[in-house]
Amino acid sequence: MRDVALSKVSFSEAALERSLEPLENEYDVIIIDGPPSLGLNMDTALYYVRRREGELADRSGVITPVWANKASHRAFRLLKSQMEDLCKKGRVQVDYLGLVVNAYDSRRGKLVKENKDEWEKSSSPPVLAVIGDLKEGREAADGEIPLLEYAPDSEHAQAMRDLAKELAV
């Protein structure tokens, strides 16, 4: 739905940048979270997190939440391809900051553990955090409520804050 709205904006990749510009000086870290998409929304987000003139490497970039399954590995390859395409066509640099393995539960079996291990063995981008399959995360997602609003004191929310602090260093 947002893809259709953004497609009507000229130079739509800059639409997110224009809308967040007033906030940039007030925050050290801005995290953009949205539903999985490889459409125009993703191009818009990727353009926003590009390395800007004078900016050091790894100060802006992409962190991808992934699951410990083969479908996530396939989706990651598609995202990486889309990112490389945008960088080439747009002549921009986007740094890949890392991955977050989300909703991990080793009780789901050998394949889940092997997939998590495969993510962790990959040196680029690195796994920044492994977040368990916690009820607060599922409930917030089902209710379409930001986790930090729904369960600000949960283990999941604390893992997100810790990650934000690490990125702000």
The string of pLDDT tens digits covering residues 36-78 is 677 788 888 888 888 888 888 877 888 888 989 999 999 889 9
How many CB atoms neighbour CB 140 within 10 A? Answer: 20
**Listed residue (79, 127, 75, 74) closest to 102, CA to CA:** 127
High-pLDDT (> 70) share of the chain, %? 89
Q: Residue 27 to residues 17, 31, 160, 166: CA-CA distances in angstroms?
A: 14, 10, 16, 14
Quick one: 6 exposed, middle or buried, by C-beta within 10 A (0-12, 13-18, 19+)? Answer: middle
State yes or no: pLDDT of 6 exceeds 90: no
User: What residues form DSSP beta bridges with 100?
Assistant: 65, 129
User: What residues form DSSP beta bridges with 83?
Assistant: none
Q: What global pTM score does this model have?
A: 0.77
Instruction: Output 34 or 66, whichever has higher pLDDT.
Output: 66
Q: Is the peptide bond before 125 cis (omega within 30 degrees of 0)?
A: yes
* Every domain of the chain and the residues it spans: 2-133
State yes or no: pLDDT of 150 exceeds 90: yes
Task: Indicate the CATH number for domain 2-133.
Answer: 3.40.50.300
**Least-confidence region, from 25-29, 52-56, 77-81:** 25-29
High-pLDDT (> 90) share of the chain, %? 17
